[in-house]
Each structure stands twice: as structure tokens, then as C-alpha cells.
Amino acid sequence: MNKITVDEITRDDLTATILRAKRRAGLTWADIAAAIGKSPVWTHSAATGMNAFPDDVAYTFADLLGLPDSAISLLTDSPLKVWTQDVPTDPCLYRFYEIVGVYGPTLKALINEEFGNGIMSAIDFSMQVEREPNPKGDRVRVTMSGKYLEYANW
């Protein structure tokens, strides 16, 4: 049987291959992130095609998951960051849309009040997801940090 090369598969195919390899290896995103020297959030994002791996990290990642060297070209390609505007039905994803829908205007107003007329970058950006113990039930703490970008006046 001939081995499929990355030239013959799509980015979505590679993502599915990565997720299967991760599951087979019994690794968590935190395990993989520690092995490649990145955060779990960035690692998952890059593994699913939303960020590009630097060459050296791509080789380490591919080796860790047993991916062929031919995967490197897709791992290091500039991402398209294509996502749908449709509200997802998955309860976890829906809640993030709900948070932006309910609190988005508040966040925008507070950013503009504190920094001026501009935005928080999603390009120069980092995020952490942590467990926060709480007697009423553990909580999910999501910390986002994006560079402030002032709107240009032209």
C-alpha cells in the first residue's frame, strides 16, 4: 500500500490526522505544548491550521506525533484563518459567541475608554486556559492578551 503524501491531502485532512495521532499517543495538548516549547492554546491553534508552525517547531511536532516529514509544508504554510460566522450549536462554542454577543459592546467600550479609539489585536495575541478551584464548582479561567492597535486617522 502506498503512503499518502501531504501533497495529496488538504489541511483539513492533516488536522484529522493530527487529532488521531494525538489520541493514539495518549498525549494532552499541554503535553505536546511542553514538548515543543509553546502554549497549549497556540499549539492546538497551529495544529488545526489557524497558526503557522516555525520550521524547527514543525519538525519537533511532526516527530512527536509520528507525522511524515512531508507534513512540514502544510504545518508551516501561512494560515487562512477561515471560520464561519454562523453561531455553532456545540454548547461550549456557543457560550463563547454568547459572551461576545452579551459583553462584546462592553469590552469595546472599556478598551476605547482605557486606550482610545482602537482594537485588541488577534494577531499579536496570547491566551491561557486554566482551572480555577471554587467551592461551588471549578471554574474555567480564560485570559486573553492582545496588543492594542490604534485606528489610523487618514
pLDDT tens digits along 79-88? 877 667 788 8
Domain residue ranges of the chain, discontinuous segments joined by +: 6-76, 91-150
Grid cell locating 146: 492582545
Residues 83, 19: Cα–Cα separation, whole Å:
19
Place of cell 503535553: 31
Tell me, what's the pLDDT at 11?
87
Q: Which residues contact 50 (CB under 8 A, 6 or more apart)?
A: 79, 81
Is residue 121 flagged as an active site residue? yes
- Residue 1 is predicted with a pLDDT of 46
Catalytic site includes residue 95:
yes
- Taking 90 as the threshold, does the pLDDT of residue 76 lie above it? yes
Q: Do domains 6-76 and 91-150 have the same CATH topology?
A: no
Catalytic residue among 98, 126, 141, 150: 98
Select which of 121, 126, 139, 150 is catalytic. 121
Superfamily of segment(s) 91-150: Cyanate lyase, C-terminal domain (3.30.1160.10)
Q: Which three cell numbers, joined as nine digits, stand for 61?
A: 511536532
Indicate whether 4 pLDDT > 70. no
Average pLDDT of the segment spanning 119-136: 96
- pLDDT over 90 (residue 18): yes
Distance CA 130, CA 141 (A): 5
Exposed, middle or buried by CB within 10 Å (0-12, 13-18, 19+), for 49? buried
Residue type (1 letter), 36: I
* 39: annotated active-site residue: no
Q: Which is the catalytic residue, given 20, 95, 139, 141? A: 95
For the chain, how long is the longest CA-to-CA vector?
Answer: 62
CATH pick for 6-76 out of 1.10.260.40, 3.30.830.10, 3.40.50.10800, 1.10.10.10: 1.10.260.40
